[in-house]
Amino acid sequence: MKEQILKYIELNPNRGYYDLCKIFGLSIDELLNLLDITNYKIDKFNNLNFYDINGNKTYNEIYKEWDNEYWLKRKYDTNGNVIYHEDSDDDWWKREYDTNSNLTYFENSYGDWFKNEYDANGNCIYTEQSNGYWKKWEYDNNGESTYEEDSEGYWHKYKYDANGNQIYYEDFMNTWIKCKYDSNGDKIYREYSTGEWIKYEYNTNGNIIYKENSNGYWVNYYYDGNNNLTSKEDSNGFKKTYVNES
């Protein structure tokens, strides 16, 4: 019978092991022992798992009995990533990974696919889909995105200061934003492509004490010795006092 089963598997490679049990009238243990498969475990839900010599899962098949028999099987790489999935509904998908477990390729039974490329730091620099859509990225030495562009014509640019604060943004609509920061990383100025701007001032504890915009509107903020906001006033004459119960 072993030769008969092996020949059947050769001709029907997508059949699950539980399917083979039904076809040949064997229990799952009888079938696997007949095929000299010993590195397997069956859990209390009748899920079938194969393992390599290092204990890594290499195959997974799930059997459930609803209105009809259902099976699901999966294969894994040595890092534990699922690289293949197939079930009795004729649905399947497969994945490929690089040595760092970054997903590089996906494909399914519906004809959909996408692929990814990465730089040496693991940042995705390019993705492409079966519908023709693509997107690409560029990064600085700190791994911050400096440029993004896609097949629909959208793009974005970013710049950062030495501390990683974003100081410039620009996009496909010719919109841009410029920012400045103090030595503590607090934003002290923001300017927009529309000509509007906002500036900020802070006390030595890093609390904002003054904010003003290009329309002439300003706000003063006041704090107690515990850095609790106690009051604020603005250029419109509005004043508000805060009560801190701590």
The tens digit of pLDDT for each residue in 75-106 reads 888 888 989 988 877 889 999 999 999 999 99
46, part of any domain: no
Total count of domains within the chain: 1
34, part of any domain: no
88 closest CA partner among 64, 59, 108, 56? 64
Q: How far apart are CA 85 and CA 14, in angstroms?
A: 11
100 by Cβ neighbours in 10 Å (0-12 / 13-18 / 19+) ranks as: exposed
Pure H helices in the chain: 2-11, 17-24, 28-34
Which tens digits make up the pLDDT trace of 22-46?
Answer: 888 888 888 999 999 888 988 887 7
Phi-psi region of 185 (alpha: psi -120 to 50; beta: other; left: phi over 0): left
Which range of residues forms the domain containing residue 89?
Answer: 53-241
Backbone angles phi, psi at 20, to 5 degrees: -65, -35
37, part of any domain: no
What 8-state DSSP symbol labels residue 82?
E
39, part of any domain: no
What 8-state DSSP symbol labels residue 184?
T
What 8-state DSSP symbol labels residue 122?
S
Whether pTM exceeds 0.85: no
136, part of any domain: yes
213, part of any domain: yes
8, part of any domain: no
45, part of any domain: no
